[in-house]
A and B are shown apart, each in its own frame.
Chain A
Amino acid sequence: AAGVIQSPRHLIKEKRETATLKCYPIPRHDTVYWYQQGPGQDPQFLISFYEKMQSDKGSIPDRFSAQQFSDYHSELNMSSLELGDSALYFCASSLGLEGTYEQYFGPGTRLTVT
Chain B
Amino acid sequence: QKEVEQNSGPLSVPEGAIASLNCTYSDRVSQSFFWYRQYSGKSPELIMSIYSNGDKEDGRFTAQLNKASQYVSLLIRDSQPSDSATYLCASSGGYQKVTFGTGTKLQVIP
Contact = CB atoms under 8 A, between A and B. Distances in A.
B44 A102 contact: no
Interface in B30-65: 32, 34, 36, 41-46, 49, 51
Size bracket, chain B contacts:
20 to 34
Interface in B55-110: 88, 92, 94-103
A43 B44 contact: yes
A64 interface: no
Interface residues of A, number: 26
Contacts of B41: 88
A100 interface: yes
A42 B88 contact: yes
A101 B100 contact: no
Contacts of A42: 88, 100-103
Interface string A81-103: 00000001010101011001111
Given A43-B44, A102-B46, A105-B43, A50 B95 contact: yes
Interface of B: 32, 34, 36, 41-46, 49, 51, 88, 92, 94-103
